[in-house]
Structure 1
Amino acid sequence: MPAFVGAVKVFSVASSGIFHIGDAYAMAPTSSAKTYAGGGSFNTGDGIRVNLQSSVTYVPDPDVIDTSNIGNA
């Protein structure tokens, strides 16, 4: 059902966000990212000690093609 919208003030919209006024069936922001992390990564907290004598992150990607966002604009 249509609605009357008064003044709207938008401060910011994130890079993967949506701002829409009006009728819509479905909206979904889409983004993708590939993250590589080795040993000791993503640690949070106070006083963390990480001792890695030898750390190597192997990232094989035999198919080369990942999920795409094409058509989700």
Structure 2
Amino acid sequence: MPSIVGAIKVNTVSGSGVFNVGDVYKISPSSSAKTFAGAGSFNTGDYLNVRNDYSVTNVNDSDVFDQNSIANI
């Protein structure tokens, strides 16, 4: 259904966000990420007592493409 839209100001759209004005059939944003983290990396909170005597994160990745995002499917 057509409509009249007034002035629009967009400050930012994040990496996997979508901004649309008007009719649309399908919007399906997709994104992929690969995260390397060692022991105790994502601990959050107050008064944490985390002890990691020995921690090794292997980041040797021989693949060229791990998570392909093609044609926004």
**TM bracket, shorter-chain basis:** 0.7 to 0.9
User: Which ranges of structure 1 fall in alignment gaps of 5 or more residues?
Assistant: none
User: Which ranges of structure 2 fall in alignment gaps of 5 or more residues?
Assistant: none
Identity %: 54
Corresponding residue for 1:38? 38
Corresponding residue for 2:71? 71
Number of aligned residues? 71
- Higher RCO, Cα 8 Å, sep 6+: 2
Structure 1 segments, 4+ long, off by >6 Å, are none
Superposition TM-score, scaled by structure 1 size:
0.76
CA shift for structure 1 position 61: 5.8
Partner AA of 2:20 in structure 1: H
Partner AA of 1:71 in structure 2: A
